[in-house]
Amino acid sequence: MSETDFRDPSAPKSPAIPQFFTEAVKLEWKSRQEGRPIFEDREFVRIIIPGDRRSVAVEPVGEAHKARWPREYEAFQVGREAPVEGTPLSEWPVSLMSPARVQELAYFNLRTVEQLAAVNDAQLQNLGMGSRELRERARTWLEVAAKGAGPIERLISRNEELTLETERLTRELKAANAELSALKSKEIRHAGAAA
């Protein structure tokens, strides 16, 4: 059984960060049989809890890991770095966090505002002075951003609609101008031929 067997499905997503990697593993039995070292590449996942450098688990990749982190596993398969979901702390307004503090938090595997907002009280002690206030700023900022997203999303959508409409009208205007030019040159040719 794993921790996921007891987790409430409606509970918030785990803040764990998976890092998939491949490592050569020595096959002891085959090595003894062949009389030389025999290795096999195997997939592993390093599971990191943001805010706590001591909470790292390394496990062979199983179907549960692939199901839990499908995007990260897919990125690993194609040789890309796993996408970080959320607002990077480095993109957070400087008034809320200095570049030095961003680097300090990266040491604790905290890279997004969402990860910082999810840090528990026990992990806050590791992060140093002012970390509780910083976590509360992150939570407040996310709440405000979530409330404000509705009008912004509507404006973005309306802007896209207007851009498409402008492009359509521009194409139609160019076509109409081309037709008008063709008619004028035809009229000029007929007038010249009649004279």
Residue 174 vs residue 102, higher pLDDT: 174
pLDDT of the residue at 61: 92
Q: For the chain, first and last CA: distance in Å?
A: 97
Q: Dihedral sign, CA of 40, 42, 2, 122?
A: positive
pLDDT of the residue at 95: 60
Question: Buried b / exposed e across 25-62, counting CB within 10 Å, b at 16+?
Answer: eeeeeeeeeeeeeeeeeebebebbbbbbeeeeeeeebe
Smallest CA-to-CA distance from 57 within 44, 70, 72 is with: 44
Q: Which pTM value belongs to this model? A: 0.47
By percentage, how much of the chain surpasses pLDDT 90? 15
At 151, the pLDDT band (50, 70, 90 cuts) reads: low
pLDDT of the residue at 149: 58
pLDDT of the residue at 195: 64
pLDDT of the residue at 6: 38
- 107-115: average pLDDT: 83
Residue 17 CA neighbour count, 13 Å, CB half: 26
Residue 57 near residue 109 (C-beta atoms within 8 A): no
pLDDT of the residue at 11: 40
**pLDDT tens digit string along 36-89?**
777 888 899 999 888 777 778 899 999 999 999 898 888 888 877 665 677 888
User: What mean pLDDT is reported for the chain?
Assistant: 80
DSSP 25: E
Residue 15 near residue 118 (C-beta atoms within 8 A): yes
Q: Residues 18, 128, 89, CA angle at the centre, nearest 5°?
A: 50
At 2, the pLDDT band (50, 70, 90 cuts) reads: very low
- 129-150: average pLDDT: 80
